[in-house]
């Protein structure tokens, strides 16, 4: 990968000193650590967007199901699972 861009940022002197010291302990250049942090950040944001898209799709599918009359109300779900719990308890006795 070509390294042609320069990235300048303002830091508190204490933060910079601690960062540089930790990078030195690992015997790694600060720029290498920053690139790794940037890549991790980009990946985390990509995963968050993908999850948000997935969740939005699932919610919309559920809403469409309800609009089409295929969904159950909370009361119906609670009643169905109460009946299942009762049946399991009766079978265990």
User: CB–CB of 65/71 below 8 Å?
Assistant: yes
CA distances from 26 to 7, 16, 21, 23, 66 (A): 22, 16, 9, 5, 55
Considering the entire predicted model, what is its pTM? 0.67
Residue given tokens 């159950």 in the structure block: 72
pLDDT tens digits, one per residue of 20-51: 999 999 999 999 999 999 999 999 999 999 99
What are the φ/ψ torsions at residue 5 (nearest 5 degrees)? -95, 145
Read off the pLDDT band of 5 (50, 70, 90).
Answer: confident
């Amino acid at each position: 990968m070509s390294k042609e861009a320069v990235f300048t940022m303002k830091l508190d002197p204490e933060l910079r000193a601690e960062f540089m010291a930790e990078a030195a302990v690992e015997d790694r250049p600060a720029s290498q650590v920053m690139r790794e942090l940037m890549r991790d950040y980009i990946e985390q944001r990509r995963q968050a967007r993908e999850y948000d898209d997935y969740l939005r799709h699932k919610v919309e599918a559920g809403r469409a199901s309800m609009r089409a009359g295929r969904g159950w109300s909370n009361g119906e779900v609670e009643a169905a699972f109460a009946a299942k719990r009762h049946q399991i308890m009766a079978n265990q006795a």
